[in-house]
């Protein structure tokens, strides 16, 4: 698949087919993502793959913590505010999603439902968790972001769907304990991965991008 086609064609998938992905395919995707660039070739990334009964048990745990009202405590705190133009882009996303699906992502009850869907991995057969040592600097968070992008692009080229998920790191300590990840690791990102159900209305909406003129400046 052409690289530009891959970058522009990838989208966040929020409904998956239940069929598991062969382990060798998942390994091939992660193997390719290893070649992402990183600061001084430090390669500050680790991946935990959770599937089957283990994934269901993790989902049940996360939903239980949500329903009990446990306060989220992610290793990377969620942003509390956004400057413009980022805030305007988020508001436009919320407006379009409400128009297309009737879901108001600004409403607390909708956020709760969105978290539950995240914790259930949108029905995907596999969940991924990306993590690194907590002593690493912000450069390493940038690097694991490059790794995540590579992983999602390779998955798309393999016919798979993905969605990066911050919500599944809400209870970082519980996830790490459940998966046997050392406590001194930083849980950076969760991700659902599987065969996308493109007939689902959940995958009908594509998000917009700001025009290149809005982000590009020339200096000659």
Q: State which CATH number among 3.40.50.10420, 3.30.420.340, 1.10.579.10, 3.40.109.10 fits the domain covering 3-75+119-207.
A: 3.40.109.10
Q: What is the pLDDT of residues 58-104, one digit of tens each?
A: 999 999 999 999 999 999 999 999 999 999 999 998 888 888 777 78
Which DSSP string do the residues of the chain spell out, in sequence order? --HHHHHHH--B---B-SPPPPHHHHHHHHHHHTTS--GGG----EEEEEEHHHHHHHHHHHHHHHHTTPPP--SSPPPS---TTHHHHHHHHHHHHHHHHS--TTSHHHHHHHHHHHHTGGG-SEEEEEEEETTS-HHHHHHHHHHHHHHHHHHHHTT-EEEEESGGGTTHHHHHHHHT--TTEEEEEEEEEE-B-TTSGGG--------HHHH-----
Q: Residue 197: which region, alpha, beta or left (left: phi > 0; alpha: psi -120 to 50)?
A: beta
pLDDT tens for the chain, 220 residues: list them: 899 999 999 999 999 999 999 999 999 999 999 999 999 999 999 999 999 999 999 999 999 999 999 999 999 999 999 999 999 999 998 888 888 777 787 788 888 999 999 999 999 999 999 999 999 999 999 999 999 999 999 999 999 999 999 999 999 999 999 999 999 999 999 999 999 999 999 999 899 999 999 999 999 9
pLDDT of residue 1: 81
pLDDT of residue 3: 94
Spatial contact of 132 and 188, defined as CB atoms under 8 Å apart: yes
Spatial contact of 202 and 14, defined as CB atoms under 8 Å apart: yes
pLDDT of residue 99: 81
How far apart CA 63 and CA 77 sit, in angstroms, is 20
Three-state DSSP string of 184-214 = CEEEEEEEEEECECCCCHHHCCCCCCCCHHH
Report the alpha-carbon angle 38-14-103, nearest 5.
Answer: 120
Task: Name the residue ranges covered by the structural domains of the chain.
Answer: 3-75+119-207
How is residue 55 written in tokens? 């994934």
In sequence order, the 6+-apart residues with CB closer than 8 A to the CB of 102 are none
- pTM for this one? 0.95
pLDDT of residue 107: 84
pLDDT of residue 143: 98
Tally the C-alpha atoms within 13 A of residue 207's C-alpha that lie toward its C-beta. 13
How is residue 204 written in tokens? 């009908």
């Amino acid at each position: 698949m052409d690289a530009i086609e891959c970058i522009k064609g990838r989208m966040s998938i929020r409904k998956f087919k239940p069929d598991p992905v062969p382990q060798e395919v998942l390994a091939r995707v992660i193997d390719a993502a290893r070649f992402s660039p990183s600061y001084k070739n430090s390669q500050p990334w680790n991946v935990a793959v959770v599937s089957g009964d283990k994934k269901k048990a993790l989902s049940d745990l996360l939903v239980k913590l949500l329903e009990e009202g446990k306060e989220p405590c992610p290793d990377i705190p969620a942003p509390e505010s956004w400057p413009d133009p980022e805030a305007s882009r988020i508001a436009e996303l919320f407006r379009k999603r409400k128009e297309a699906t009737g879901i108001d992502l600004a409403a607390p009850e909708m956020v709760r439902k969105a978290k539950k869907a995240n914790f259930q991995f949108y029905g995907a057969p596999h969940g991924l968790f990306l993590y690194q040592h907590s002593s690493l600097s912000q450069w390493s968070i940038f690097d694991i972001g490059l790794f995540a992008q590579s992983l999602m692009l390779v998955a798309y080229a393999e016919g798979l769907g993905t969605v990066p998920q911050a919500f599944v790191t809400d209870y970082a300590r519980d996830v790490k304990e459940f998966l046997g990840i050392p406590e001194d690791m930083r849980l950076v990102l969760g991700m659902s991965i599987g065969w996308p159900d493109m007939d689902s209305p959940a995958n009908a909406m594509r998000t917009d991008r700001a025009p290149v003129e809005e982000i590009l400046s020339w200096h000659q």
